[in-house]
Amino acid sequence: MIDTTQNLVLTRKFFIRPVLVVAKDLLGKVLIKKDGNRVLAARIIEVEAYDGKVDKASHSFNGKTKRNEVMFNEGGYFYVYFTYGAHFCCNVVTGKRNNGEAVLIRAVEPLLGINKMIENRFGRELKSEKEIYNLTSGPGKVCKAFGFNKEHSGLDLTNSSVFIVNQPKLKNNMIGVSKRIGITKSASLPWRFFEIGNPYLSK
């Protein structure tokens, strides 16, 4: 059973490390959103790292703007942005203040509040048992299932209704590494990390 209390919340110390270290270590950790008595929780199983110091695909590459200013906080803040005029994406800010680093949460494995996630995503019951694997298998799907939007951008993940709780680190042989998905700039960087074989991975 996942502990959804504040007892195991990841602290600032976890997040202020370099983005590639945090990205790998986020795999297997549990993302939680509390809304009154309702709890939504899911294991993080796929992420991508973005570092504006060297990475042309990062929102922070050209410096601080109104849109990306949350990325320049110290590690441990939630950065949510709207993309392609269609969906929100959520990120975990990492590193020291003004570094402009963040980890995109690409896919999660639902644990608690699954019926609410289904309602948020589809507005209907599942058409088949297999459709559950499409629930949170992509960055836009994660935000829709959890109900994340621009209002959640800037939340402190160490002290708010959205937080991440600790779980044992995944073993290296369980972690896959690849190029990031759907980008054209700095596309050769192997900065996507994922739990090998998990059925909720993005397609």
Given this model, what pLDDT does residue 53 score?
77
DSSP state letters, 159-189: SSSEEEE--PPPPGGGEEEEPPSS--TTTT-
Percentage of the chain modeled with pLDDT above 70: 90
Structure tokens, 140: 């836009």
- Mean predicted lDDT score pLDDT of the chain: 90
Q: In 3D, which of 128, 131, 67, 133 has the Cα closest to residue 100?
A: 67
Where along the chain do its domains lie?
A: 6-177
- Convert the pLDDT of each residue in 24-63 to its tens digit: 999 999 999 998 889 999 999 999 998 867 666 666 655 5
The CATH class, in words, for 6-177 is alpha beta
Burial class (CB in 10 A: 0-12, 13-18, 19+), 41: buried
Structure tokens, 37: 């008595």
13 against 61, higher pLDDT: 13
- Convert the pLDDT of each residue in 136-171 to its tens digit: 999 999 999 999 999 999 999 999 999 999 999 999
